[in-house]
Structure 1
Amino acid sequence: MTDDLMTRARQALADEEAARLRAKADELATGDERARLQTEAEAKRQHARDTAAKALNAPAVALGTVAQKFDAAVAALVALAEAAELRHRTIQQQAALLIAAHVPEARARGGNSVELDGELHSVRDAKPDELLARAVALAAREVGTADNGLRSLASDLLPHSGPLARLTPVERAHR
């Protein structure tokens, strides 16, 4: 019986040692897994950071590029307003000259329009304020989404630009 007890005691000690070794192995494996997961998480964070830095520093989205495009747009709108204003002044000047010269085939209508050789030239065809508002409204409509608010900007400009569906004389002349 003593041998049996000794065998069972040895077996119990071996089982305890095996359980202790399994627990230690599990603990080490969990530590390794935790370290691996932390390494993966850090790699993901670094990748996200690098991707964001690359995207935010791309020339197409750099603030300087947007500023250059803004300056070009302002210059284009100024040129549009100046062209409309030049047309306005020229029509008024020529109407006054035609009235003063009594040119029979030309008709001036109150200094704001001239009919010459069957063609009507009117300041109402290219009002600077309407053209500027229309240019901004059309641009806003082109890129407007519910998220960026540009659709509402286009709607806000309608009282100044007229309905966007109709073409102005300037747009018809170009097309």
Structure 2
Amino acid sequence: MTDDLLTRARQAIEAEETARLQAKAGELASADERARLQAEAEAKHQHARDTATKALNAPAVALGGVAKKFDAAVAALVALAQAADLRNRTIQQQAALLTAADVPEQRGRGGNAVEVDGQVHSVRDAKAVELLARAVALAANEVATPTNGLKSLASDLLPYSGPLARLTPVEHAER
């Protein structure tokens, strides 16, 4: 019986040792799997960060690139307003000169229109406020989507720009 007890004790100790080794192996395998999964997740996160950084720093998307386009657009709108203002001041000056010279074609035209060689030049053809509003409304309408709000901006400008479907004399002019 003693040998039997010793054998059973050895078997129990071996079973316990085997179970303990298997548990330890399971822990190590789980730790390795967790480490592998965590490394994969970190690599995925880093790839997403790198992709986002690259996309957000692209010249066409970066705030500096948009700022340059904004500055160019403002400069273009300023040039448009200045051109319209110069045209209208020139029309008014020439109207005053033609009226003072008592040119027959100028009679009854007032100070906001001039007729020269059968061609009428009027300040109504190139109002700065209309041209600026129209330029912004046409640009907004060009890129409007249901979600970006530009359709409503174009609509809000209609009192100043007139209907988008109609062309102004400036748009009719030869370019």
TM-score (norm 1): 0.83
Cα RMSD for the two superposed structures = 2.6
Question: Aligned partner of 1:146: which letter?
Answer: P
Q: Residue 66 of structure 1: CA displacement? A: 2.1
Residue 121 of structure 1 aligns to a residue whose secondary structure is: strand
Q: Is the 1:137–1:161 Cα contact (8 Å) retained in structure 2?
A: yes
2:48 corresponds to 1:48: yes
Q: Is the 1:107–1:115 Cα contact (8 Å) retained in structure 2?
A: no
Residue 100 of structure 2 aligns to a residue whose secondary structure is: helix
- Which deviates further from its counterpart, 82-91 or 136-145? 136-145
Residue 103 of structure 2 aligns to a residue whose secondary structure is: coil
1:1-150 aligned within 5 A? 15-104=15-104, 109-150=109-150
Residue 110 of structure 2 aligns to a residue whose secondary structure is: coil
Q: Residue 86 of structure 1: CA displacement? A: 1.0
Percent of aligned positions that are identical: 80
- Which residue of the partner structure matches residue 161 of structure 2? 161
Q: Residue 44 of structure 1: CA displacement? A: 1.5
Question: Aligned partner of 2:140: which letter?
Answer: A
Question: Aligned partner of 1:120: which letter?
Answer: V
- Which deviates further from its counterpart, 96-105 or 117-126? 96-105
Distance 1:115 1:136 in 2: 31
Question: Aligned partner of 1:115: which letter?
Answer: E
Q: Residue 43 of structure 1: CA displacement? A: 1.2
Q: Residue 39 of structure 1: CA displacement? A: 0.7
Q: Residue 19 of structure 1: CA displacement? A: 3.8
Change (3 A) 1:25 1:50: same
Q: Residue 57 of structure 1: CA displacement? A: 2.3
Distance 2:88 2:58 in 1: 43
1:98-141 Cα deviation digits (max 9, x unpaired) = 23333345565122122332322111111001111111111111
Q: In the comparison of the two structures, how many residue pairs are matched? A: 175
Q: Is the 1:137–1:157 Cα contact (8 Å) retained in structure 2?
A: yes
Residue 37 of structure 2 aligns to a residue whose secondary structure is: helix
* Structure 1, gaps ≥5 residues long: none
Question: Aligned partner of 2:166: which letter?
Answer: R
1:1-54 Cα deviation digits (max 9, x unpaired) = 998888777666655544443333222211111000111111112222222222
* Structure 2, gaps ≥5 residues long: none
Question: Aligned partner of 2:39: which letter?
Answer: T
Q: Is the 1:105–1:117 Cα contact (8 Å) retained in structure 2?
A: no
